[in-house]
Structure 1
């Protein structure tokens, strides 16, 4: 009798173990998206992408980091990630890519999406990478106070190509000056080495050389890389549907 009882207990424990592995082996659907803007702009440019994702049932948060310090920008993005109720996809544009490369190590991040964005490796800076693949624009102005901005006269053509002129002009004169030091922040423990990546290349980008974008995508073993013909650095604004589709692909691919 005792032998039979022990045998039954053994079967029960094995069954519970198998059930536990089945339950905990199931991945939670990714419904949270965090959008991280780049230099010289704020989060309002994400409106089109935000609307596309919300229509599809996703919970979307837009960060508003200050562009004063790389370390603080990463902390601000992590603050938003920590507010999410489950796994999420972290999306970065331009300098925002450098931010998500570090913030993406947050355990809640299931995948990374780079939209015409920097994805530096260990010990690299986006400024140095930009020198290896020179960009086309020459309108960057470095102020004596340590802040950079783009000449408003050239902003629409260099940064916001394809954006409606009235809006591009407004962006030019409402841009957020960015502390030059953020572009020289040295990256440590890049998240793309341990998290899956999706990448969008803007083929007519004047701010980041499209070849640098392709290099980033290939090096990060991007699960899916798409190239948008004629798209400027503001590809996330001019092609919100395509950007949202890539983000959704990442959400589904990370489940």
Structure 2
């Protein structure tokens, strides 16, 4: 690697406040300059705001997908539309439910690496609900309420079980922009699993009350992902934005 690339990486590392243990990764050549971030259930694209700011400071181009959360087909189509707009190699990142979209769309030739943030990571055709039943039921499940086929989290469950370690003022703002989802969405299955062939990274939330942490560990191990563990609620992209941005930068060098 030439001196210019090294200095660029050091500047990027400093911009997002990388701690010393992350600096060796920052010395690698950056292979992707674009990041596409997809939100999951109970959220919208603004949930990535803190991560986006850090990635932009590091010189990355970051775009958040507004996941429609109605059908898997529509969510995949929107993710692919945003991927098509990227100019060159791209890291694809999914939080929570949208790990499904990362798995389904990650074979796009522009995608160089996949990042799962406390995310579902089903195999192709796998029944995720059946897989999840092998682990304890997370407390947030009891806080989902439906109006017909449209579901959302109650405010109590959102603040306690979804955004547990996010400052209350910030968590209440996130609750206010919660995107409702269609019941059928969570039962649909993927047709492919990009993690079989693309470098994969996973951030486990050890205090997660929305997806069981041991289920996250199982999925990360199964995909042979480079894995970090954060003492975080499900919303590590908010409470630990520095660490999530650092993981994405590692993926950008993969």
**TM class by shorter-chain length?**
0.7 to 0.9
The root-mean-square deviation of aligned C-alpha atoms, in Å, is 1.5
Structure 1 partner of 2:115: 113
Q: Which runs of 4+ in 1 moved over 4 A?
A: none
Q: For the Cα contact (< 8 Å) 1:98–1:126, is it kept in 2?
A: no
Q: Cα distance, 1:28 vs. partner?
A: 8.3
Q: Does 1:146 align with 2:137?
A: no
Correspondent of 1:72 among 64, 71, 74: 74
Structure 1 partner of 2:242: 241
Q: Cα distance, 1:167 vs. partner?
A: 2.1
Q: Cα distance, 1:142 vs. partner?
A: 4.1
SS in 2 for 1:117: coil
Matched length: 225
Instruction: Using structure 1 for the length normalisation, give the TM-score.
Output: 0.84
Give per-residue Cα distances to partners, 1:180-236, cap 9 Å, x unaligned.
1111111212111111100000000000000010011111011x200012x000011
Q: Cα distance, 1:29 vs. partner?
A: 2.4
Counterpart Cα distance in 1 of 2:39 and 2:128: 15
Give per-residue Cα distances to partners, 1:72-115, cap 9 Å, x unaligned.
10110000000011110000000110111101111111110000
Q: For the Cα contact (< 8 Å) 1:102–1:190, is it kept in 2?
A: yes
Q: How does 1:86-97 map to 2 (within 5 A)?
A: 86-97=88-99
Q: For the Cα contact (< 8 Å) 2:138–2:211, is it kept in 1?
A: yes
Counterpart Cα distance in 2 of 1:127 and 1:174: 26
Counterpart Cα distance in 2 of 1:174 and 1:205: 21
Q: Cα distance, 1:54 vs. partner?
A: 0.7
Instruction: Using structure 2 for the length normalisation, give the TM-score.
Output: 0.85
5+ residue gaps, structure 1, are 1-26
Structure 2 partner of 1:128: 130
Q: Cα distance, 1:125 vs. partner?
A: 3.3
SS in 2 for 1:154: helix
SS in 2 for 1:39: coil
Larger Rg: 1
Counterpart Cα distance in 2 of 1:150 and 1:46: 19
Moved more, 123-132 or 92-101: 123-132
Correspondent of 1:183 among 170, 183, 186: 186
* Distance change >3 Å, CA 139–CA 171, structure 1 → 2: farther
Counterpart Cα distance in 1 of 2:177 and 2:53: 23
Counterpart Cα distance in 2 of 1:184 and 1:140: 18
Give per-residue Cα distances to partners, 1:116-148, cap 9 Å, x unaligned.
000001221333322222223343334252122
Counterpart Cα distance in 1 of 2:188 and 2:147: 19
Give per-residue Cα distances to partners, 1:227-253, cap 9 Å, x unaligned.
012x00001110000000000001112
Moved more, 200-209 or 144-153: 144-153
Counterpart Cα distance in 2 of 1:144 and 1:245: 39
